[in-house]
Amino acid sequence: QQPEQPATPEATESDNGTIAEVMTGGTLGADEGSSKFNEYRDLDNGLRLFGLRYRGYTPDSGRFIEAVGTNLGLDDQSFKARAGRYGTWSAALEIDSLPHRLTNDAFSPYTDAGDGLFTVPGVVGILTTTADNVNFRASDMLENDSRIAAYLNQNLHALPQIGTDNNRMSLQLTYSPVAAIDARLTASRRTREGEKITYGPLGDRPPRTMNVELPEPIDHSETTLQFDLGYANRFFDLNLEIFAPEFSNDIDSMRWQSIYFGPDADGAADYNNDIILAGNAIVRRAVSTFGQRALPPDNRFTNTTLTFGANTALNGRFTATAAMGRLRQDETLLPYSYSTLTKDWNSTGKLPRLSAEAAIDTFLLDLQYTFAPLRGLRVRPFFRSYNLDNDTPEDQWWYVTQDAASNTTGSATFMNKRINRAYDSDRRNLGVEGTWQKKSLTLGLTIEQEAIDRGHREADTEETIIRARASYRPLQWLSLRGRAAFGQRDADGYDFRSELSSYWYTSAENGTGTNNPAFSFTNHPDMRRFDVSDRERSELDLTASATASPTLSFSATWSRRENDFDSDVTPVQPLAGTSFGAANETTLGIQLGLLSQDTSRFSFDANWNPNDRWGATAFVSLESIDLDQRGTEFSEDLRTTAQTPRIGTPGQSWVDPANLWRAGNEDETTTFGVGLNYSIIPDRLTLTADYSRSNGTVDIGYSGFGSDQPLDTIYYAFRSPETVEHVQRIANLAIEYRLPRGFVLGLRYLFDDYDVKDWMQEPQGEWVDVVSNNFVRDSTRDNRWGNRLPRLVGYLGPSYSANVGFLTLGYSW
């Protein structure tokens, strides 16, 4: 919690400023290592200018000038200055800085050499014969782990703070030459510099990927121009908005050096000597000495919106909005791979086109008409259409893993012939809303029909939504509100084959291959992607607000959101009519994916203000989010093979009920807080205090496939993990004393405590071995390289506890 700015003297026509000496308690210094404490702020020992405010106004002319600054000179500063003449014109300058600290604890062998290049001081020099087709705990692989650990221990160095600094400056001019016209021009520029955390997969596709966690450079700038023009006369209103943000990335790509290999011993650039025997199958894989990937591309968005509004008979109001958007991105493309791999994959000559040529056009039409045909009755028919038209050319590409091909020849396999599909959609909403009001009772009913057509997705959907609401004030001091909604979304002929068009290989190329997504299926046929599946949803909100007395008020709200994605999945024969071995296989017809989502929230607020000297508030909130999902394990390598009886080891067949698993996610958060303000000596000495606590937990209950198997075998068994827990406690205490001549002396105290426990960040889980500092591997110790990860840090923002003291001095003149 950002400490509230110390109260300044009456913030009306005076000019004032507050400076403060920050006195930190003993524990702040000890916990400065946690980036979480200063995640979005810049609070440290020393003198700081908390706030500065100036307001000037000339009553006769209406001219004014205002300036407000906060934390000036710090990483989280903000400054706003405005001048003009009331009702006529104004010019405003705004400067805002926002830090986003991700971690202070990262270690890496990588050095940022600039321009997206990350280098290491040397390489591990691992054994290249690490495959053992029989013994998965191959001694050579363990030897490699030892070598990597030793390498990291020798070369890890602390990275400076990982995170970004965001700085934004904007200038806004407003002008109203006559009452009927109002124009506004805003120009802003935001820069974002620093690093975030990313990964550098090297070598073949997972699981043979040799991965490392490393920083990703960020050097972004965003320039936005916005123009608004409003016009009104007695009959209609018009508003034009032109919104044109442009994003620029000064670093187009990043390259990272492999820590595992050096150049060829013979100095040749063919990398053929840099080969590992990857995976449990003895297949030789070539690996490059560098990896490379594209960073967020420069892009531009232009959106023009015209809104027309007119008041009509029957106390009516009609508005029509049309908006056209253009998204463009034409960054020069990288070659498929950084390395040659004998097939010139590092040449852009292999690409179907040299730049992205990505283009999306959007069009919005929104029509609203509100009128009152009868006294107390308001009716609102509405129509909305949002069309997203993707004009990006679709081409035939290769999915060449960055640094190696899938076999020794350097050729990517036929399955890696992929087409970029230009996803688009067309959404339409049509409905009518009625609101009837009689004295203290208001009733509302809305019926809405939504239809979404999608290109290159599994289904178009249609949904009928009914919303009802009521508010009633039976007594002057009591107000009741309720809202309910029900929606039935139908996915029109969910097509699990929709992704097959993203492949461009022929059946002949496949031959007898059993991993054949283009002519079988990609996702399991029983999977229903919940964003385009059938859905039944219900929502209910109930609120009661009471003003028990002029000094005491309460409000309580309970809400529930239920989404049931049951899609009446039935068994299918996805390969019927083919000559595959699995032609007659039938799926279980048991829905996979997200099955349901159930959210309930309860909030209670109380305010007590017995007199001018006392005030107290309290709130409590309980939130529960339950997710239920199901999956099944099967082998894509055996997709077209006869599935029954069960193929070989468990986890192979896509029709085996023993392969099903289920996970229930219980996400619960309890938050409460209290606040107090007390005027000890009226207009002289004040006390304010508050305390809040937020306790969030995530429990995942996992059952089914692999839940009863040993965790250190290639079964890759899984268990219900330990509860994730975040606890944040914040207390503020402030005493302020108004001295003569406009001075305000303050003493403040902040207690900020954060405790985190997360099995994804802790390396000591049952699935993860800590080999050495910042080097973890899967507890199977399998010889596939994807099971290893040199990482930057465990907990990004670990637990902390801080005590901070402030001595503040305010002055107004």
Partner 1 sequence: TGAARAPREVDWVALNPAFKDATFVKDTSTCLGCHEDAMKKYEHTTHARTFKAAARTELDKLGCEACHGPRSKHIEEPTSDLSLDRISPDGRSQICLQCHRAGKNQMHWQASAHSGGAVSCDSCHMVMERRSDLALLKTKEQESLCYDCHADVRAQMQKSSHHPVREGKMTCSNCHNPHGSTGPTMLRRATVTETCQSCHQDKRGPFVWEHPPARDNCATCHNAHGSNNRSMLVNKAQFLCLQCHSYGGHINVPRYNRTSAPTQQGCVNCHVTPHGSNHPSGAKLTR
Of residues 531 through 590, those in contact with partner 1 by CB under 8 A are 531, 555, 557, 559
One symbol per residue from 352 to 371: x for binding partner 1 (CB under 8 A), - otherwise; what is it?
----x-xxx-x-x-x-x-x-
- Which residues does residue 810 pair with via DSSP β-bridges, in sequence order? 18, 744
For every residue of 124-181, DSSP letters joined together read ----S----SS-TT-HHHHHHHHHHHHHHHHH-EEPP-EEEEEEEEEEEEEE-SSTTE
Residue 45's identity, in one-letter code, is: N
Residue in 20, 24, 117, 220 binding partner 1, rule: CB under 8 A = 220
Cβ 560 vs Cβ 624: under 8 Å: no
Distance CA 588, CA 706 (A): 19
Q: Which of 148, 149, 400, 731 binds partner 1 (CB under 8 A)?
A: 400
Given the complex with partner 1, which of 161 and 559 has the nearer CB atom?
A: 559
- HSE of 124, CA atoms in CB hemisphere, 13 A: 23
Residue 182 in contact with partner 1, rule: CB under 8 A = yes
Which residue carries 């399955």 as its tokens?
415
Give residues 583-642 in contact with partner 1 (rule: CB under 8 A): 592-594, 601, 603-605, 619, 621, 623, 627, 629, 631-637, 639
Segment 722 to 751, residues that bind partner 1, using CB under 8 A:
724, 726, 728
Alpha carbon 555 to its chain centroid, in Å, reads 32
Structure tokens at 674: 């209290």
Determine if 431 is a binding residue for partner 1 (CB under 8 A).
Answer: no
Whether the bond between 59 and the residue before it is cis, its omega within 30 degrees of 0, is: no
Footprint (CB under 8 A) of partner 1, residues 272-291: none
* Residue 705 touching partner 1 (CB under 8 A): yes
| Interface with partner 1 (CB under 8 A), residue from 263, 309, 482, 650 | 309
- If the CB atoms of residues 232 and 264 are measured against partner 1, the closer one turns out to be 232
By C-beta, is 700 or 731 nearer to partner 1? 700
Q: Which of residues 438-467 bind partner 1 (CB under 8 A)?
A: 442, 444, 454, 456-457
Nearest-approach distance from CB 241 to partner 1, in angstroms: 6
Site for partner 1 in 13-32 (CB under 8 A): 13
Site for partner 1 in 772-791 (CB under 8 A): 776-778, 782, 784, 786-789, 791
Q: In the bound complex, what is the minimum distance in angstroms from residue 204's beta carbon to partner 1?
A: 11
Q: Tokens 């989502």 belong to which residue?
A: 597
**Is residue 514 a contact point for partner 1 (CB under 8 A)?**
no
Residue-level length of the chain: 813
Q: How far is CA 757 from the centre of its chain?
A: 21
Q: How far is the CB of 294 from partner 1 (least distance, A)?
A: 4
What minimum distance in Å lies between the beta carbon of 643 and partner 1?
Answer: 12
Q: By CB under 8 A, which span of 37-45, 485-493, 567-575, 731-739 interacts with partner 1?
A: 37-45
Q: Tell me the CA distances in angstroms from 771 to 123, 337, 749, 798, one per residue in order.
A: 18, 31, 43, 21
Between 264 and 553, CB nearer to partner 1: 553
Instruction: State the minimum distance, in angstroms, from the CB of residue 418 to partner 1.
Output: 4
Separation between Cα atoms, residue 782 and residue 135, nearest integer Å: 9
Residue 463 in tokens: 């949904």
Q: Report the C-alpha gap between 729 and 802 in whole angstroms.
A: 10
Q: How far is the CB of 602 from partner 1 (least distance, A)?
A: 8
Among candidate residues 305, 457, 324, the one with its CA nearest the CA of residue 388: 324
Choices 16-24, 304-312, 506-514, 642-650; region in contact with partner 1 by CB under 8 A: 304-312
- Supply the minimum distance, in Å, between the C-beta of residue 210 and partner 1: 11
CA terminus-to-terminus distance, the chain: 30
Of 186, 392, 609, 709, the residue at the interface with partner 1 (CB under 8 A) is 392
What is the amino acid identity at position 104? N
> Which residues, numbered 158-177, are part of the site for partner 1 (CB under 8 A)?
174-176
199 binds partner 1 (CB under 8 A): yes
Those residues whose C-beta lies under 8 Å from the C-beta of residue 508, and which sit 6 or more positions away, are none
Euclidean distance between CA atoms 216 and 67, whole angstroms: 37
Measure the CA–CA gap between 49 and 21, rounded to whole angstroms: 9
Residues 225-254 that bind partner 1 (CB under 8 A): 228, 230-234, 237-239, 241, 245, 247, 249
Which of 147, 189, 205, 255 binds partner 1 (CB under 8 A)? It is: 205
Sheet with strand 290-294: strands edge to edge: 111-114, 117-119, 253-257, 290-294
